[in-house]
Amino acid sequence: MASNTSSSLPSGNAAAPANEALTPLSDEARVFRWNDHLSLWFSLGVGLLVMQVGAYLVPAVGTRDAAIAIVLGSCIGAGLLAWTAHIGCQSGLASAGLMHRTYGSAFARLPVVLNIVQLVGWTTFELVVMREGTQAIAKQAFGIAADGMAGVVITTAIWGAVLLALLSGTMVGLVRRFVSRFGLPLVVLSLIWLTWQFAVHAHAKGLDAFWSRPGDGSMGLFSALDLVIAMPVSWLPLVADYARHGRRGAGGGAFAGTWLGYAVANIWCYGLGVLVVSVAEPGTSLVTALLLAQGGLLALGLILVDELDNAYGDVYSGSVSAHSLKPGWSVRRWGLAIAVLCILLALVLPMHSLEPFLLMLSSVFVPLYGVILGRMGTGQGWANATSRSVDWSAALIWISGIAVYHLCGQLAPQWGSALPALALTFVLARASRPSSAAGGASALAQNRG
């Protein structure tokens, strides 16, 4: 799971950095091209969890407003990911490094810990989703009821064992040798097949009725937009961990590949969820509806395999963040420890309070990255990166952004929360950037050189 260069060096090698997560990667470690970024983020954007949120939107706001929220929210969310990827590629810093540069080395530990917590939660979610998909396949295809305690333990252990096996390899190798060459084409074919199957059903029932289906009014358009943005925003604290492997000077490739890959996957999977729930019989779960489609067993199986990329991505990034706190443990060792923890949590925790979990993450990470983008998202931002233990102005802007996010949800829910909080923190952070002192520029040059 570590990179092919510095993170795979023996701990006693003098060339190995003391803290890989806070040290910019060397040119030799930067091997990702734009198509590697695209393949990775398309793969990470595909998932049953995304489809389930899409299916949730339709009864609440109706098909037309759901489609508007999906397209706008995906483009905005993927744009934030791509902007952060550009910063990570240009600086060579991991997500923890960006937090340290923005908030100060001492205060940054708080968002780093929050990031680890949310990544443990997401990995546990993914394991539960893969487990339940496997149980549905076993029942539909083989008549095996695997939803008892024994079935839960066995299916969770199977996916957990595969995850641990992947973590014994390298992240760069997994992306370039498997995801780009094999995983992506198979997942695209599965999505095409499922989209065709359910589009035929929607056409048979009448496209006008499908498109004009009203919502029950339980959610407004901007609230739906918040929920859609929450999915890509949940990846914001991860994107730099991968983008830093992009070739130096290829920040545009990291931006374009990340934006295009994630936006297309997110729109497609959200839209497929809308399509499935609109043509399935009332009360039918998303997984059951997928299985009942012609060829759905194979397509769902391939999507479940792709879901493993999401779990791997969460664990890898969590291990990089944890390594920044305790560099005495290697990235790989942290990854194995986090994976074991998530496997155990998947066996005991109820993991289906989805909307509050996603919105809670947005309330923390939207303003967090509004500040980072405001401080480091422009060319001048590199020289202005803080070297203090606590940057109080950045910290206070972040905290105020969280407050604004929740106040908007309470006082003006019809306008949403994510975009106002993001705009406020970005503007305040940009306006309060430290002056580009020579010492700061020198320190940055040393870190990048």
User: How confident is the model at residue 251, as a pLDDT?
Assistant: 53
Above 60 in pLDDT, residue 302? yes
All structural domains of the chain, each given as residue ranges with its CATH number in brackets, are 28-352 (1.10.4160.10)
pLDDT tens for residues 17-51?
Answer: 568 888 888 888 888 888 889 989 998 898 887 88
pLDDT tens for residues 388-400?
Answer: 788 999 999 999 9
Distances (CA, A) of 325 to 42, 45, 165, 330: 30, 28, 25, 11
Note the pTM of the prediction, 2 decimals.
0.84
DSSP 3-state of 293: coil
Structure tokens at 419: 């975009």
Rounded to 5°, the CA angle 436-440-442 comes to 115
User: How confident is the model at residue 226, as a pLDDT?
Assistant: 84
Query: In terms of pLDDT, which residue wins out, 306 or 318?
Result: 318
User: How confident is the model at residue 207, as a pLDDT?
Assistant: 79
* pLDDT winner (highest mean) among 12-16, 119-123, 288-292, 396-400: 396-400
Above 90 in pLDDT, residue 263? yes
**Which residues neighbour 52 within 8 Å (Cβ) at sequence distance 6 or greater?**
273, 286, 354
Question: Which residues is 2 bridged to in the sheet?
Answer: 170
Query: In terms of pLDDT, which residue wins out, 251 or 341?
Result: 341
294's torsion region: left (phi>0), alpha (psi -120 to 50) or beta?
beta
User: How confident is the model at residue 35, as a pLDDT?
Assistant: 85
Q: Binning pLDDT at 50, 70 and 90, where does residue 249 land?
A: low
User: How confident is the model at residue 379, as a pLDDT?
Assistant: 57
pLDDT tens for residues 90-145?
Answer: 888 999 999 999 999 899 999 999 999 889 988 998 898 888 888 888 887 777 77
pLDDT tens for residues 186-207?
Answer: 888 888 988 898 888 888 878 7
**Which residues neighbour 317 within 8 Å (Cβ) at sequence distance 6 or greater?**
95, 115, 119, 237, 238, 241, 242
User: How confident is the model at residue 151, as a pLDDT?
Assistant: 84
As a whole-number percent, the residues of the chain with pLDDT over 70 amount to: 87
Above 50 in pLDDT, residue 437? no
Distances (CA, A) of 297 to 46, 141, 195, 379, 396: 17, 8, 14, 49, 50
* Segment among 74-83, 127-136, 155-164, 286-295 with least mean pLDDT: 286-295
User: How confident is the model at residue 323, as a pLDDT?
Assistant: 94
User: How confident is the model at residue 16, as a pLDDT?
Assistant: 47
User: How confident is the model at residue 13, as a pLDDT?
Assistant: 42
